[in-house]
Amino acid sequence: MTDFEVFGLILIAMSLAFVNWRLGVLICLFVGFIQDPLRKLIPGEPVYMTVMVGAPLLMTILGAHLRGVSLSFRPLHAWNDVLRKPLNFFILLVVLQSAAAIIKTGSPIVGAIGALSYLSPFPAILLGYQYSRKERDISKVIKVYLAISILMVPGVYLAYAGFDWPILKQVGEGLFIYSLQKGRLNLFAGFLRSPEIAAWHAAAAACLLILVALAVRGKTYLKWGAGFLVPVLLGAILLTGRRKFLVEVFLFLSIYVLFLIVFARKSIKSATLAKSAILLTAGLGVASVTFMFIVADNVADEMTPYYERGISVRNDITGRVSGMTLGSFDLVIAENGILGAGAGTGSQGVQHFGKQTTGVNAEGGLAKVLAELGVPGLLLLLWVAISFTRYLWSIARYVTSDLEVNPVLSRLVFGLVALLVSNVFLYIVAHQVFGDPFILIILGFFLGFVMATPKMIARAHADRRVAEDTALVHRVQMGALSNAVKRQTDRPGRPARDNASAAIIHPSSIGSQ
């Protein structure tokens, strides 16, 4: 495939996103997934393909703006003003540190990568906020994401099975690990560009499948099928060798159940939720039994080292969290200074331009922020995190206090919050995967959906009032017409037409009567 053909496809996607910005949100998901396999098919595997998803995102924003959609934080701040100051200060600091990185390295690309790595979720948050009108809108995005990711992730199994296709290879030199029993073990990326990216999407898909099965109205076979697919996705994570994403799925499930217990006790007692949980569990059981019966013994033996590596994460997680956070701060400051080395200098992708300057124990997300933005940046990030926590807490309280909230919406929102929180913990331990703009855009969409919850609830109440007023008008009109006909029957000498038509009340007059 040539650059010209790729640009043609992207141009079509951009045109569709501009014409219909709501469709553009879904197009961003499609482009974000196909940019990795397309990159493998282009000679030289150009780095710019990693940010191709930004093109339809920008056209979606432009199309929405030209159609009068307000893409600003004002409506979000109107609900709760707690984010205004920390967000403004953080954005300003990132801009200044990006400029500092350009001056220090002499490369505008490094500064641009730094700005993208911190700011790309914000446009997605605003789009997600405006896109969400009802829970069906959120469900649509989740289902589209699941449909594409479930088609992409099985490429990991094809690579493991030995299919030597260029589209299944890792971009660049590739990653591998060593096992005491088997020696070198290859890691598999499938259709995506690296095992890290493949593992993140597999984990996100597993979490969203659980969420859809428990929260979204659907057919029985869909909930059962979700349970069947979750082990398939977990197996793909094992083959990528990225153990932390197994922890992400466990964290998501634990946090989600905790949220339901604390904020949505009625959902826990719901017969619908209980039925969904039973169907999901049944699917998990069938998948496990199927694996034992259809997988040959030699294949199971070959997968054992991957399984052993996966479960070993429970022994390493405490030391890793300590080493990637407080345990690394002294060395990071000694290497990069109190003010940091500049936004982008330690981000994924700058190594392609020979400009990486940070890196001393900066694998953890907090250490990376400290290395690039310095102590002021780390303190500002903590302020932003606390403010977001307060914002989301206010939404949770609002959802809990409103007895008329759709239970599907509440379960969906709490599930998305659980997914976001589990990714925060993942970022603290390892930031590399969050250098991918597509992943940041997806998380931005999800956060925007959650922050739109008060707006969606208000819209649902308004729709309900309109429906009730319309029903009342209809009853009054029919009652008045019936009385007019009855009076005409009692007095046959009077014309019925005038009495009946005079008895019909216009809806606008209801409030004054």
72-131 per-position pLDDT tens digit? 999 999 889 999 999 999 999 999 999 998 998 888 888 888 888 899 899 999 999 999
pLDDT attached to residue 57 = 95
- The residue that leads in pLDDT, 290 or 241, is 241
- Indicate whether 6 belongs to any domain: no
Classify residue 56: in a domain, yes or no: no
In a domain, 65, yes or no: no
Q: What is the length of the chain?
A: 513
Q: 169's torsion region: left (phi>0), alpha (psi -120 to 50) or beta? A: beta
State the Cα–Cα distance between residues 157 and 192, nearest whole angstrom.
12
- Mean predicted lDDT score pLDDT of the chain: 80
Most confident of 85-89, 353-357, 396-400, 498-502: 85-89
Question: Mean pLDDT over residues 438-447, rounded?
Answer: 95
pLDDT band at 402 (very low <50, low <70, confident <90, very high): low
274-288, 313-327, 448-462: range with highest mean pLDDT:
448-462
Share of the chain above pLDDT 90, in %: 34
Residues 331 and 412 both lie in one domain:
yes
Considering its fold, how many domains does the chain have in total? 2
Confidence class for position 381, pLDDT limits 50, 70, 90: very high
Residues 404 and 277 in one domain: yes
Is there a single domain that holds both residue 115 and residue 240? yes
For the ranges 164-173, 192-201, 257-266, the lowest mean pLDDT is seen at 257-266
**CB-facing half-sphere around the CA of 172: CA atoms within 13 A:** 13
* Predicted local distance difference test score (pLDDT) of residue 498: 45
Reading the block at residue 351, the tokens are 């190594």
Average pLDDT over residues 393-408: 80
Output the pLDDT for position 508: 40
Residue at 42 is within a domain: no
When pLDDT is averaged across residues 383-399 and rounded to a whole number, the result is: 92
| Average pLDDT value for residue range 467-472 | 70
**Residues 339 and 477 occupy one common structural domain:** no
Asked whether residue 8 is assigned to any structural domain, the reply reads no
Residues 338 and 407 in one domain: yes
Together in a domain, 379 and 486: no
Name the residue among 33, 49, 56 with its Cα closest to residue 1: 49
**Same domain membership, residue 436 and residue 297:** yes
Amino acid, single-letter form, for residue 480: A
430 lies in the same domain as 501: no
Query: Is 134 within the bounds of a domain?
Result: yes
Domain span including residue 167: 70-451
Last-in-domain residue among 451, 478, 496? 451
**83 secondary structure, DSSP code:** G
pLDDT for 511: 40
Higher confidence at residue 467 or residue 142? 142
Tell whether 413 and 318 lie within a shared domain: yes
Q: Which of 451, 473, 488 is the last residue of a domain?
A: 451
Whether residue 25 is predicted with pLDDT greater than 80 in this model: the reply is yes
- Output the pTM of the full model: 0.84
At 383 the pLDDT is 95
Q: Do 481 and 373 share a structural domain?
A: no
- 1-10, 230-239, 291-300, 389-398, range with the lowest pLDDT: 291-300
Tokens representing 507? 């809806």
Asked if residue 204 belongs to a domain, the reply is yes
217: left (phi over 0), alpha (psi -120 to 50) or beta: beta
| Domain boundary residue, one of 451, 477, 497 | 451
Q: Which two tokens stand for residue 445?
A: 């969409």
120 and 201 both lie in a single domain: yes
Predicted confidence band of residue 162 (pLDDT cuts 50, 70, 90) = confident
Identity of the highest mean pLDDT range in 302-311, 367-376, 454-463, 472-481: 367-376
**Among positive and negative, which fits the CA dihedral 23, 24, 28, 34?**
positive
Domain contains 155 = yes
User: Taking residues 4-33, what's their average pLDDT?
Assistant: 91
Angle between helices 21-41 and 437-451 (to 10 degrees): 160
In a shared domain, residues 261 and 406: yes
Contacts of 181 (CB under 8 A, 6+ apart): 304, 305
**Considering the chain, what percentage of its residues have pLDDT values greater than 70?**
73
